[in-house]
């Protein structure tokens, strides 16, 4: 079992701040304590505990499965892609996108209403339903709501993003329709109170839904994610990631359909 040092906000070690000594950094807790603390913070939408470990991506993915199982003990909602843009990957010093799990209890539908939560962000995405072999069956417009709450800037690493399940919070899925590519000409638009706040081609994320679906399935197999006969994939952000502010939102994905939602203060 790996031993990993953590500090939780509000603890004595947290309050010591920069005076936290090298000797204190050597104190460790087991991975069960780490994953339980992260899962609790995700569920309560509070800042994550400090993470004092230098994980590899392989180790982070192993622990991510424990985090998501604690956060959502029932069957998961699917698999999501994150850090899909080349600029974001360069920032984190990685050469590929990352994946995480969707929480089965956090799926929302068209015309839903959400409470305002400080720090949440919105991503225009596509939702693809695949069979157990990873073959696409259906596709729908989608919005992912992301909340990344590291307690300090130094914890914002690719490995810690994986460990904390890429900030997965909630996701909105529109009406599913039969898979019928190509989708190269489809554009996603998001409006807030009638004003355009994002517009981008769906090829903006991993080359579009055909390529992103295939990549996610390959990566999922390599990282120990299960793909069953009705696994939902969220294929990554198209265009800007925008703050989830109070107001009425409408998303238009052209031939793939529309959806709307409201965030109330």
pLDDT at 184 over 80: yes
Check: CB of residue 120 under 8 Å from CB of residue 83.
no
Check: CB of residue 105 under 8 Å from CB of residue 74.
yes
User: Which tens digit of pLDDT belongs to each residue from 124-143?
Assistant: 999 999 999 999 999 999 99
Predicted local confidence at residue 23, as pLDDT:
31
Q: Which of 244, 251, 247 is closest to 264 using CA atoms?
A: 247
Domain coordinates in residue numbering, the chain: 75-264
Predicted local confidence at residue 2, as pLDDT:
52
Distance of alpha carbon 232 from alpha carbon 207, whole angstroms = 18
Q: How does residue 80 score in pLDDT terms, banded at 50, 70 and 90?
A: very high
- Check if CATH label 3.90.850.10 holds for domain 75-264: yes
- Locate the DSSP E strands across 18-110: 29-30, 50-51, 78-82, 98-102, 107-109
Of residues 10 and 176, which shows the higher confidence score? 176
Half-sphere exposure of 144 (CA within 13 A, CB side): 31
Average pLDDT along the chain: 90
Predicted local confidence at residue 24, as pLDDT:
36
- Least trusted range by pLDDT, from 62-76, 183-197, 213-227: 62-76
| Residue owning tokens 């009705």 | 230
Q: Which residues contact 220 (CB under 8 A, 6 or more apart)?
A: 79, 99, 227
For the question of whether the overall pTM of this predicted structure is more than 0.75, the answer is yes
Q: Which of 135, 64, 73 is closest to 104 using CA atoms?
A: 73
Predicted local confidence at residue 4, as pLDDT:
53
User: Which tens digit of pLDDT belongs to each residue from 204-216?
Assistant: 999 999 999 999 9
pLDDT at 17 over 50: no
Predicted local confidence at residue 26, as pLDDT:
36
| Length of the chain (residues) | 265
């Amino acid at each position: 079992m790996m031993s990993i040092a953590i500090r939780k906000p509000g603890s004595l070690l947290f309050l010591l701040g920069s005076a936290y000594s090298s000797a204190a950094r050597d104190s460790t807790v087991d991975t069960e304590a780490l994953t339980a603390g992260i899962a609790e913070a995700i569920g309560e939408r509070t800042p994550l505990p400090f993470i004092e470990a230098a994980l590899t991506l392989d180790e982070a993915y192993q622990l991510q499965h424990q985090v998501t199982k604690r956060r959502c003990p029932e069957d998961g909602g699917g698999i999501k892609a994150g850090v899909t843009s080349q600029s974001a990957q360069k920032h984190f010093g990685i050469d590929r996108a990352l994946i995480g799990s969707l929480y089965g209890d956090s799926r929302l539908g068209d015309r839903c209403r959400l409470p305002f939560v400080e720090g949440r962000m919105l991503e225009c995405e596509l939702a693809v339903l695949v069979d157990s072999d990873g073959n696409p069956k259906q596709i729908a417009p989608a919005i992912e709501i992301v909340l990344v709450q590291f307690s300090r800037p130094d914890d914002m690493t690719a490995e810690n993003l994986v460990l904390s399940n890429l900030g997965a919070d909630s996701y909105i899925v529109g009406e599913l329709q039969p898979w019928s590519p190509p989708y190269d000409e489809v554009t996603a638009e998001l409006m807030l109170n009638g004003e355009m706040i994002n517009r981008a081609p769906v090829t903006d994320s991993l080359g579009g839904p055909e390529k992103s679906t295939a990549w996610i399935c390959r990566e999922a197999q390599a990282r120990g994610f299960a793909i069953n006969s009705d696994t939902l994939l969220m294929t990554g952000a198209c265009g800007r990631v925008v703050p989830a502010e109070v107001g009425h939102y409408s998303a238009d994905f052209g031939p793939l359909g529309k959806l709307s939602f409201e965030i109330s203060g």
